[in-house]
Amino acid sequence: MLSDKLKGIIDILGNLLILLGAFMFFPLALSLYFQESFRLVLIYLFTGLGAISLGYIAHYYHHKNISLDISASMIITGLGWLTASFVVAIPLTLGFNISFLDAYFEAMSGFTTTGITLISGLENYPLSLIFLRSLIQWLGGLGILSFFLLITFRSEGATWNLFGAEAHKISSSRPVPNLFKTIKILWSIYAGLSVLQTILLLLAGLSLFDAVIHTMTTLSTGGFSRYDASIAYFQQAGYANFRLIEYIFIIFMFFSGTNFLMHYRILQKNWREVLGNPEFKFYGKLVAGFTVIIMVSVFLSEEVALYLQNIESVFRTSLFQVISIMTTTGYETQYIGSPYFIIPARQLFLVMMLIGGCVGSTGGGVKVLRILILRRLFAREIKALGMPRRSVMPVTLEKEKIDWEDVSQIAGLFFAWLFILLVGGVITAVFSPHNIAESFSGMFSAVNNIGPSYITVAEMIEIHPVVKVTYIFGMLAGRLEIIPVIALFRLDIWKK
């Protein structure tokens, strides 16, 4: 006999299956429009109908009043991504003709907006498959579970607990008190920015298809591209406006890495709050500082005379890669492991991966705000060395005291983050021929949801299955910020 808690979990996962099945009809329609193979049409059709059917079967456990506690919310959060990745892995394995493990890896990379890919020769595959990869990143951008709000808002406790499991998406300063309205505002901004970027890319010379799929993977900070060369393709293919195209991506990556509530404040013309926001200011300083350092490192390379002849190119390339990595989008106009970037610059890229975007953005990583608070905590400890032992010195941010409980949670999360990076890096080194720096870069890429690493796509495709499973766990842990994933392995939480 199933418990009420388990019935509620199955019911909500059933709703997710129905939604996923419905979204499968978008690539199906494109496949028909582009007159792709009938086999591919059938794959989308049966995957969609199968997911919808399973979803309605799960409604056998439907409850009018779903009551979710925190532990159930955590379980749903973890299972939501696992379930979604399983469904999408079906058309990916059949369409790309890859193993199910590789397809599941690709789906998880998409939904978590990581962007690591195990597929090469992307230009040669049906456009509907390319669209599907971009669609799952766009959906994953603000979190699959925001869709659950439409289902569970009838139970206030369920809604708040459910989104408490993905707390980094909603900051404490909500635009409106009602969480349901807050999510509507965030998705409206997300969709609006998507339309705006698509239009600008069209004006810059991209086809409608390229503009749409690259917009979806920019706003979600996912980084999947239609081309193996990523954004560098547009220069290589001879696009006259390739510089403009790259600057458009730079702008929208930067804003995608910003707390989406800052966009709401901008729409309200509340410039004082935007410019005075400590995280936003620190984010801007980090981007500017890292860009200068990377530019200097390029000029220190052996071909300095050549680079000095085109300072704008060095600036654009450096700024693009800094913002792409800081926001964990993962696009490239220059491979981060190429000789263009000297070893110190490559090490700095790993630091950027760890920091990530802002709280409340679609970016991954530890988040800028948490790094800022940890920096203040470190400064407090240094200052305390010269103070009496009984002195009370709280951690402050813009003269506001931060609760010690919040500081402890951030410190604990940061430790867990580093521990997972360590374990994953060691596993990669043991089960692959890569050196320790390359091995750790792979796990940095997975856990911080970034995509590029010092392991090439060709090498990643051939990497040991144990490493692939490790990265799947790392991508999910990084996206859900570890705790919900750990909850899946705690029997006591399932029994509560």
Nearest to 107 by CA among 87, 124, 123: 87
pLDDT for 365 equals 93
Residue 133 in any domain: the answer is no
pLDDT of residue 401: 84
Select the more confidently predicted residue: 74 or 493.
Answer: 74
Q: Are 333 and 235 spatial neighbours (Cβ–Cβ below 8 Å)?
A: yes
Nearest alpha carbon to residue 256 among 189, 206, 354, 180: 189
Q: What pLDDT does 47 receive? A: 97
Query: What average pLDDT does the chain have?
Result: 87
Is pLDDT above 50 for 249?
A: yes
Q: Are residues 120 and 231 in the same domain?
A: no
Residue 495 has pLDDT above 70, yes or no: no
Residue 250: closest CA among 354, 325, 362: 325
324 within 8 A of 251, measured Cβ to Cβ: no
Q: Which domain holds residue 449?
A: 1-127+144-152+403-495
The number of domains in the chain is 2
Residue 182 has pLDDT above 50, yes or no: yes
Last residue of a domain, one of 345, 367, 401: 401
Kindly state whether residues 175 and 301 are assigned to the same domain: yes
Task: Give the mean pLDDT of 317-338.
Answer: 95
Distance CA 67, CA 161 (A): 9
**Average pLDDT in the 329-343 region?**
93
Q: Say whether pLDDT at 317 is over 70.
A: yes
Q: Is pLDDT above 50 for 334?
A: yes
Residue at a domain's end among 401, 431, 458: 401
What pLDDT digit, counting tens, does each position of 429-483 carry?
A: 999 999 999 999 999 999 999 999 999 999 999 999 999 999 999 999 998 888 8
Residues 6+ apart with CB under 8 A from 135: 23, 26, 27, 216
Q: What percent of the chain has pLDDT over 70?
A: 86
Residue 426 located in a structural domain? yes
Q: Which residues does 27 contact at the CB level (< 8 Å), separation at least 6?
A: 44, 91, 128, 129, 131, 132, 135
**Both 464 and 386 in a single domain?**
no
More confidently predicted of 381 and 363: 363
What's the half-sphere exposure (Cβ side, CA atoms, 13 Å) at 120?
Answer: 7
Overall pTM > 0.85: yes
Residues 489, 379 share a domain: no
- Do 119 and 4 share a domain, yes or no? yes
Distance of alpha carbon 431 from alpha carbon 461, whole angstroms? 14
Quick: pLDDT tens for 58-109: 877 666 565 666 777 778 888 889 999 999 999 999 999 999 999 999 999 9
Contact 321, 333 (CB under 8 A): yes
Same domain as 148, residue 4: yes
Residue 163 pLDDT = 46
Provide the pLDDT for residue 301. 74
Do residues 450 and 317 both lie within one domain?
A: no
For residue 177, pLDDT beyond 70: no
Q: Write out the two tokens for 194.
A: 């998507």
Of the residues 380, 401, 422, which one is the last residue of a structural domain?
A: 401
Question: Within this chain, do residues 204 and 240 fall inside the same structural domain, yes or no?
Answer: yes
CB 327 within 8 A of CB 448: no
| Statement to judge: residues 333 and 408 lie in one domain | no
**Pair 341, 451 in one domain:** no
User: Per residue in 381-424, pLDDT tens?
Assistant: 888 777 776 666 778 887 788 888 888 889 999 999 999 999 99
Residues 176 and 239 in one domain: yes
The predicted structure's pLDDT at residue 76: 81
Q: What's the pLDDT tens digit per position in 109-154?
A: 999 999 999 999 999 999 999 999 999 999 998 775 566 555 455 4
Predicted confidence (pLDDT) at residue 347 exceeds the cutoff of 80:
yes
Place of tokens 């009496």: 388
pLDDT given at position 145: 54
Asked if 440 and 377 sit in the same domain, the reply is: no
